[in-house]
Structure 1
Amino acid sequence: MAKPAVKLIQFDLDGTLIDSVPQLHLAVNAMLAELDRAPASVEAVRGWVGNGADMLVRRALLAGREADYAPAPAELARARAAFDAAYDRVADRQLIFYPGVVDVLGQLHRAGFILAMVTNKPSRFVPAILTAAGLGELFSLVLGGDSLPEKKPSPAPLLHACAHFDMDPSQCLMVGDSENDVLAAKAAGMAVVGLSYGYNYGRPIAESEPDWVMDDFSQLVDLLLA
């Protein structure tokens, strides 16, 4: 596919810019301990990430239970509150960037691209993470999973970002690591890069057929700045 005529780049966060599984693992296990549940492994938590905190909590509660088990609303509410409290304590600590992320984001910003953050992570956690990462000033718009009535894979957050900057989707690029990012971008009518190293429920991102599959974040430089 030819080099895109991009002005606005929309980025996912978890699994795209940072490996947040270590912090999420700590928060999930703190939640499970409060509920007198057995702890989860790091790899289990890695497989649960990608659809927002509510789904992460639900998947943690369903793990190892009978097929017909369904957590009661009160249990879900208690679990979510416990998760939020635990994640508040650790979300911005010892952040792990994927290779090339900090340098490439700086290059793209200096080159004049508008950068936006569109994540399914609850919005309350995102500013502290970006500040701790030293990336806060690079993003002109930040949307969390609860910023709008719908989150990815709905195209609504991506289209909202386009409208915010008065951009047509053809002027935008989505960069993410999961099928949610690819599906949202395709539904919005914009090009999408799928990163192979993130969280995609154990399936190759290529199966979702993004416009480009990249194994390294630094390949964005070749695509957009070469």
Structure 2
Amino acid sequence: MRHLTVFDLDGTLVDTPRAIVETFTAAFGALGIAPPDASAIRATIGLPLGQAFGALLGLPADDELVASGVRRYQIHFKEIILPRAPELMFPGVTEGLDELRGLGITLAVATSKVHASADALLRSAGLRDLFALVVGADQVAHPKPHPESGRLILRTLGVPAESAVMVGDTVHDLHMARAAGMRSIAVTYGVHGPRELAEARPTWIADTFDDVVGLLRAAPKGLAG
């Protein structure tokens, strides 16, 4: 039976949260608006950009100021985050993904980034060719935590939900996995802390990417159980 692991991107494969805060801050500065506190920005990581800017500005996601913020963010993303992608990967990611592929596990990404930005980040980090599919927030009507992203990946790759595991650092990832019928691994080194992650009831919890690989190495034997 074919097995699938779906990864979140920011805070799971690539240590981008600090750079994301810098990018939001630069975008607010370009708009002539005082940026929110870093903690407020971090709290929006894992949401699509429009929702994040809307929450930070207290405006609807379709407001023109929100749209301007998103455009500014995307400009600064190319300047601030992309050049640093190779050095932002969490320890063990490249080796771990190679090992999982060697075990015959199909790999995919479900992210709240738009597809073009996710693809560019993965390519800059040297990871894109490891993934059979990358699904961004602009490719579904309802991004995470809605299960649509996960269901799209399962359907496209022809893998049943019981043979798939979602790996992510936020409760949005875990809620998506549960709603899509997938098992999940919560990683504690990203945006949300262990207590918050545990409340979302992941199947497993991992403190390092090596721990993720260890769990997935053993998981296929019991995925259908």
TM-score (norm 1): 0.87
Structure-2 residue corresponding to 1:122: 114
Kept after mapping to 1: 8 A contact 2:171/2:196: no
Secondary structure of the corresponding residue to residue 8 of structure 1: strand
2:74 matched to 1:75? Answer: no
SS in 2 for 1:78: helix
**Residues 1:183 and 2:175 aligned together:** yes
How far has the Cα of 1:225 moved from its partner?
2.1
Structure-to-structure mapping, 1:15-54, within 5 angstroms: 15-54=11-50
For structure 1, which segment, 199-208 or 214-223, has the greater mean C-alpha deviation from structure 2 after superposition?
A: 199-208
What corresponds to 2:3 in structure 1? Answer: 7
Equivalent residue, structure 2, for 1:146: 138
Distance apart, 1:20 and its partner CA: 1.1
Could you say which residue in structure 2 is the equivalent of 1:66?
A: none
SS at match of 1:173: strand
2:75 maps to amino acid: A
User: Are residues 1:56 and 2:61 paired?
Assistant: no
- Which residue of structure 1 lines up, in the alignment, with residue 217 of structure 2? 225
Cα offsets for 1:100-145 (capped at 9, x unmatched) = 2221111101221100011111112011111111111100100011
**Larger deviation: 134-143 or 147-156?**
147-156
Across the aligned residues of Structure 1 and Structure 2, the Cα RMSD in angstroms comes to 2.2
Structure 2 contact 51–61 (Cα < 8 Å) conserved: no
Q: How far does residue 203 in structure 1 lie from its aligned partner after superposition?
A: 5.4
State the distance in 2 between where 1:55 and 1:82 align.
15
Q: Distance in 1 between matches of 2:52 and 2:193?
A: 12
Counterparts of 1:203 and 1:70 in 2: how far apart (Å)?
Answer: 30
Unaligned regions of 5+ residues in structure 2, if any? 219-225
Q: Distance in 2 between matches of 1:223 and 1:45?
A: 31
Kept after mapping to 2: 8 A contact 1:196/1:204: no
CA distance in 1, matches of 2:212, 2:109: 16
Corresponding residue of 1:173: 165
- Aligned counterpart for 2:90 among listed residues 89, 95, 98: 98
Q: Which of 144, 147, 157 is the equivalent residue of 1:155? A: 147
Compared with structure 1, are the counterparts of its residues 111 and 59 closer, same or farther at alpha carbon in structure 2 (3 Å cutoff)?
A: same
* 1:136 corresponding residue in structure 2: 128
Q: Secondary structure at the match of 1:124?
A: helix
Counterpart residue identity of residue 82, structure 2: D
Structure 1 stretch displaced more, 113-122 or 31-40? 31-40
The number of residue pairs the alignment matches comes to 216
Shift of 1:201: 7.7
Q: Which runs of 5+ in 1 are unaligned?
A: 63-68
Give me the identity figure in percent: 30
User: Conserved in 2, the CA contact under 8 Å of 1:194 and 1:212?
Assistant: yes
Q: 1:85 — aligned with what?
A: 75
Q: Distance between the aligned counterparts of 2:54 and 2:8, measured in 1? A: 22
Measure the CA separation in 2 of the matches of 1:70 and 1:146: 17
TM-score where L is the length of structure 2: 0.87
Deviation at 1:165, TM superposition (A): 1.4
Query: In 2, are the aligned partners of 1:169 and 1:190 still within 8 Å (CA)?
Result: yes
What is the DSSP-based 3-state SS (H/G/I as helix, E as strand, rest coil) of the residue aligned with 2:43? helix
